[in-house]
Amino acid sequence: MSLALRHRPERFGLTPDPGGWVPVADLLGALRIGRAVLDAVVAGNDKQRFAVVRGADGVERIRASQGHSIPVDLGLAPAPPPDRLYHGTSGAVVPAIMAEGLRRGGRHHVHLSPDVETARRVGARRGGPVAILTVDAAAMARDGHLFYRSANGVWLADAVPAAYLSS
């Protein structure tokens, strides 16, 4: 589902609207899965990665909450962050991050966690030693950097300069 909704919808014959939404019926057909499977994936995803809504037209739609590499306007308004946020990553890349900061790469934003345990889970997804970086979000916000909070509680920023990071 992540590939279809975040990265390669055209590969599945899907055309997300500008907000990244696709009709649930279209996704079910494209992935050849039943509604029960879709509901189980949405409900059981530990990161609450997907959102389902029913539009005013009565059509149910689904999208990924963040992490797109395709153009998407999530419609998020800037929000004041907590004083500290966290980023879990592979220990091997920490020297580069501490020198260059966190960059979004091919995604729309850098993803930040509200707590250390969530950051640890995120950092562990690639295996190997996990490093947890602390982001001085309060200082970033004071200095004019914007933060957004996605529907599933992930904090998003355009970048995190190295000056705001500690390990």
DSSP 77: P
Determine what percent of the chain is predicted with pLDDT higher than 70.
Answer: 99
pLDDT band at 164 (very low <50, low <70, confident <90, very high): very high
Would you state the pLDDT for residue 104?
A: 86
Whole-model pTM over 0.85: no
Report pLDDT digits (tens) over 92-134: 899 999 999 999 887 778 999 999 999 998 888 877 788 999 9
Cα separation, 88 vs 91, whole angstroms: 9
DSSP 83: S
Q: What is the mean pLDDT of residues 45-74?
A: 87
| pLDDT above 90 (res 62) | yes
The residue among 13 and 128 whose pLDDT is bigger is 13
List the domains of the chain with CATH numbers.
Answer: 2-64 (1.10.10.970), 84-166 (3.20.170.30)
Q: By the 8 A CB rule, do 21 and 50 touch?
A: no
pLDDT at residue 59, as a whole number: 95
Residue 46 CA, chain-centre distance (Å), reads: 13
Give residue 76's pLDDT: 87
Q: What is the pLDDT of residue 129?
A: 83
CA–CA separation, 66 and 50 (whole Å): 9
Give CA–CA dist 107/76, Å, rounded.
Answer: 15
C-alpha dihedral (92, 96, 99, 105), degrees to nearest 10: -130
Give pLDDT, residue 153.
87
pLDDT in tens, 15-37: 999 999 999 999 999 999 999 99
> What is the number of alpha carbons within 13 Å of residue 64 lying toward its C-beta?
19
Closest CA to 120 of 108, 107, 109, 134: 134
Of 125, 154, 150, the C-alpha closest to 63 is: 150
Residues 6 or more apart in contact with residue 147 via CB below 8 angstroms = 78, 79, 80, 81, 112, 137, 140, 141, 155, 156, 157
Q: So what's the pLDDT on residue 144?
A: 97
* pLDDT interval class at 152 (50, 70, 90): confident
